[in-house]
Structure 1
Amino acid sequence: MTPPTRDAGSGATDGVAAATWVAPSGRPPLAARMMRATWRGLPARRYEAGWEPDLEMPAADGSTLRADHYFPRAEGDFPTLLVRSPYGRGVPWSPMYGMLFAEQGFHVVLQSCRGTGGSGGAFDLWRNEAADGQATVAWLRDQPWFNGALGTIGPSYLGYAQWALALDPPPELRAMVVQVGLHDPHALFHRGGALQLENALLVGSGMTSQHRGFGPFLRATLRLKRHLNHITGALPLRGSYVRGLGGELPWLDAAMSHPDADDPFWNGASTGGAADGLHVPTCLISGWQDALVDQTFEQYGRLRRSGCDTSLLIGPWTHTSALQQGWSEVFAESLAWLRAHLCDDPSELRPARVRVHIGGQERWRDLDDWPPSPDTAPWYPAEGGRLTRQSPEASASLASFRYDPADPTPSIGGPLLSPTSGNRDNGDLEKRPDVLTFTGEPMDEPMDVLGPVAARLRISTDTGYADVFARLCDVDEKGRSVNVCDGLMRLPTGPEQPVEITVPMSSTAHRFLPGHRIRLQISGGAHPRSARNTGSGEPALDATTLTPVRITVHGASVLDLPVVRAER
Structure 2
Amino acid sequence: MVQGWDVPEGRPARGARWLRALWRNVPAGPYRVGCEAGAAVPAGDGVPLLTDHYFPLADGASPTKADAFPTLLVRSPYGRGVPWAALYGILFAEQGFHVVVQSCRGTGGSGGDFHLWRNEAADGRAAVAWLRTRPWFTGALGTIGPSYLGYVQWALAADPPPELRAMVVQVGLHDPYAYFHAGGAVHLENALVSGIGMAHQHRGTGPFLRAALRLRRWLPHAHRQPTPYTSGPAAELPWLAEALARTDADDPYWRGASAERTATRLTVPTCLIGGWQDVFLDQTLAQYRRLRRAGCESALLVGDWTHTGALREGWPEVFAESLGWLRAQLGGEPDGLRRTPVRVHVGGDGGGWRDLPHWPPPPGDAAGPWHLTAGGGLGRSVPDGAAPVGEFRHDPGDPTPSLGGPALSRGAGRRDNRALEARTDVLTFTGPALAGPREVLGEVAARLRITATGAHGTPPEGPFDVFARLCDVDARGRSVNVCDGLVRVRGGTAQPLAVHVPMAATAHRFAAGHRVRLQVSGGAFPRYALPPGAHGAGPVRIALHPGSTLQLP
Taking structure 2 as the reference length, the TM-score comes to: 0.93
Q: Indicate whether 1:55 and 2:46 are aligned.
A: no
| Letter of the 2:5 counterpart | S
Question: What SS class does the counterpart of residue 7 from structure 2 fall into?
Answer: coil
Match of 1:363 in 2: 352
Worse overlay, 247-256 or 510-519: 247-256
Paired AA for residue 44 in structure 2: A
Residue 494 of structure 1 deviates from its aligned partner by 4.2
Q: CA deviation at 1:492?
A: 2.8
Runs of 4+ with deviation above 3 angstroms = 28-31, 230-233
> 1:34 Cα shift?
1.4
Matching residue's letter, 1:288: W
The answer (yes or no) to whether the contact 2:5–2:33 under 8 Å persists in 1 is no
Would you say 1:353 and 2:341 are equivalent positions?
yes
The structure 2 residue matched to 1:343, chosen from 322, 331, 336, is 331
The 10-residue stretch of structure 1 (475-484 or 192-201) with the greater mean CA deviation from structure 2: 192-201
Corresponding position of 1:438: 429
**2:515 pairs with 517, 522, 544, which one?**
517
Q: What is residue 96 of structure 1 aligned with on the other side?
A: 87
Query: Which of 200, 204, 218 is equivalent to 2:209?
Result: 218
Separation (CA, whole Å) in 1 of partners of 2:342 and 2:11? 35
The answer on whether the counterparts of 1:285 and 1:296 sit within 8 Å (CA) in structure 2 is yes
How far 1:204 moved relative to its partner?
1.6
Q: Residue 293 of structure 2 aligns with which residue?
A: 305
Residues 26 and 52 in structure 1, CA contact (< 8 A), matched pair in contact too? no
Instruction: Tell me the distance in 1 between the aligned counterparts of 2:379 and 2:247.
Output: 37
Q: Which whole-Å deviations, capped at 9, do the CAs of 1:7-54 have from their partners, x for residues lacking one?
A: xxxxxxxxxxxxxxx997342684421121132111231100110001
How far off its partner does 1:546 sit? 2.0
1:283 aligns with 2:271: yes
List alignment gaps of at least 5 residues for structure 1.
Answer: 1-21, 563-568
Letter in 2 for 1:230: H
Residue 270 (structure 1) aligned with residue 258 (structure 2): yes
Aligned residue for 1:501? 499
Determine the structure 2 residue equivalent to 1:480. 478
| Maintained 8 Å contact 2:467/2:484 | yes
Give 1:456's match in structure 2, choosing from 447, 452, 455.
Answer: 447
Match of 1:132 among 108, 117, 123: 123
Secondary structure of 2:387 counterpart: coil
Out of 39, 44, 69, the residue aligned to residue 28 of structure 2 is 44
Does residue 27 (structure 1) correspond to residue 7 (structure 2)? The answer is yes
Contact 2:469 2:481 in 1 (8 A): yes
The separation in 1 between residues aligned to 2:518 and 2:105, in whole angstroms, is 45
Whole-angstrom distance in 1 between the partners of 2:223 and 2:490: 24
Does 1:148 find its partner at 2:128? Answer: no
Letter in 1 for 2:52: D
Q: For 1:393-472, what aligned pairs fall within 5 Å after superposition?
A: 393-462=384-453, 463-464=459-460, 465-472=463-470
Q: What SS does structure 2 have at the residue aligned with 1:555?
A: coil
Q: Which residue of structure 1 lines up, in the alignment, with residue 236 of structure 2?
A: 248
Aligned letter for 1:266?
Answer: W
Task: Tell me: CA distance 1:31–1:457, structure 2 relative to 1, closer, same or farther (3 Å).
Answer: farther
- Deviation at 1:389? 1.2
Q: 2:247 aligns with which of 259, 262, 273?
A: 259
**Whole-angstrom distance in 2 between the partners of 1:236 and 1:162:** 33
Mapping 1:543-554, distance limit 5 Å: 544-554=535-545
Tell me the distance in 2 between the aligned counterparts of 1:409 and 1:530: 10
Number of aligned pairs?
A: 531
CA distance in 2, matches of 1:96, 1:334: 12
The alpha-carbon deviation at position 394 of structure 1 amounts to: 4.6
Q: Deviations over 1:306-357 (max 9, x none)?
A: 1011111110100001001111110000000000000000111111111111
1:484 partner amino acid: V
Amino acid aligned to 2:240: L
- Aligned residue for 1:195, secondary structure, equals coil
Question: What are the residue-to-residue correspondences of 1:193-204 with 2, within 5 Å?
Answer: 193-204=184-195
Identity of aligned residues (%): 61
What is the aligned partner in structure 1 of residue 64 from structure 2? none
Aligned 8 A contact 2:432 2:515 in 1: yes
Secondary structure of 2:209's counterpart equals helix
**Structure 2 CA distance, aligned partners of 1:304 and 1:236?**
41
| CA deviation profile, 1:87-122 (whole Å, cap 9, x unmatched) | 000011000000000000000000000111111111
* Residues 440, 29 of structure 1: alpha-carbon distance in 2 compared, 3 angstrom cutoff: farther
Q: Which range moved further: 145-154 or 413-422?
A: 413-422
Cα pair 1:55 1:68 within 8 Å, conserved? yes
Q: Unaligned stretches of 5+ in structure 2?
A: 60-66, 454-458
Q: How far, CA to CA, are the matches of 1:364 and 1:295 in structure 2?
A: 21
**Cα deviation digits, residues 229-288 of structure 1 (max 9, x gap):** 23343234354324xx6x622111111111121221111111122111101110000111
Q: Following TM superposition, by how much is the alpha carbon of 1:505 offset from its aligned partner in structure 2, in angstroms?
A: 0.1
1:433 and 1:444 mapped to 2: Cα distance?
31
Query: Which letter maps to 1:153?
Result: I
Closer, same or farther: CA 29–553 of 1 in aligned 2, 3 Å = farther
Per-residue displacement from partner, 1:151-202 (whole Å, max 9, x unpaired)? 0000000000000000001110000000010111111111211111101111
- Following superposition, the deviation at residue 228 of structure 1 comes to 2.1
**Structure 2 CA distance for aligned equivalents of residues 437 and 29 of structure 1:** 57
**Are 2:450 and 2:498, in contact at CA under 8 Å, matched by a contact in 1?**
yes
Q: Does 1:531 align with 2:520?
A: no
One-letter amino acid matched to 2:296: C
Distance in 2, Cα, partners of 1:177 & 1:235: 41
**What RMSD over aligned residues (CA atoms) do the two structures have, in Å?**
1.7
Contact 2:421-2:428 within 8 A present in 1 as well:
yes
Of 70, 73, 76, 1:82 maps to 73
Describe the SS at the equivalent of 1:515.
coil
Counterpart of 1:515 in structure 2: which amino acid?
G
Secondary structure, aligned partner of 1:511: strand
Amino acid at match of 1:498: P
Give the aligned partner of residue 72 of structure 1: 56
Task: Supply the distance in 2 between the matched residues of 1:130 and 1:256 (Cα, whole angstroms).
Answer: 22
C-alpha contact (below 8 Å) 1:91/1:214 kept by paired residues: no
CA distance in 1, matches of 2:192, 2:513: 40
Q: 2:63 corresponds to which residue?
A: none
* AA aligned opposite 1:460: T
Amino acid at match of 1:368: P
Name the CA distance, whole Å, in 2 between partners of 1:478 and 1:309: 45
Q: Which residue identity lines up with residue 496 of structure 2 in the other structure? A: P
Once the two structures are TM-superposed, the CA of residue 378 in structure 1 deviates from its matched residue by 1.3
**Partners in 1 of 2:296 and 2:384 — Cα distance?**
47
On the 8 A contact 2:397/2:535 being kept in 1, the answer is no
Q: How far is 1:365 from its partner?
A: 0.5
- Contact 2:448–2:548 (8 Å) recurs in 1: yes
Hey, what's the Cα distance between the residues in 1 that align with 2:57 and 2:343? Answer: 34
Alpha carbons of structure 1 residues 60 and 515: separation in structure 2 relative to 1, 3 Å: same
Question: 1:378, 1:560 within 8 Å by CA — same for their partners in 2?
Answer: yes
1:70, CA displacement in angstroms?
A: 0.2
Q: CA offsets per residue over residues 436-471 of structure 1, 9 Å max, x none?
A: 111000000110100010111101101333211000
Cα deviation 1:475-505 (Å, max 9, x = unaligned): 0000000000000011132432111011000
TM-score (normalised: structure 1): 0.91
Distance verdict in 2 for CA 1:384–1:497, change over 3 Å = same
CA 432–80 in structure 1, closer or farther in 2 if over 3 Å, else same: same
Residue identity opposite 1:65 in structure 2: L
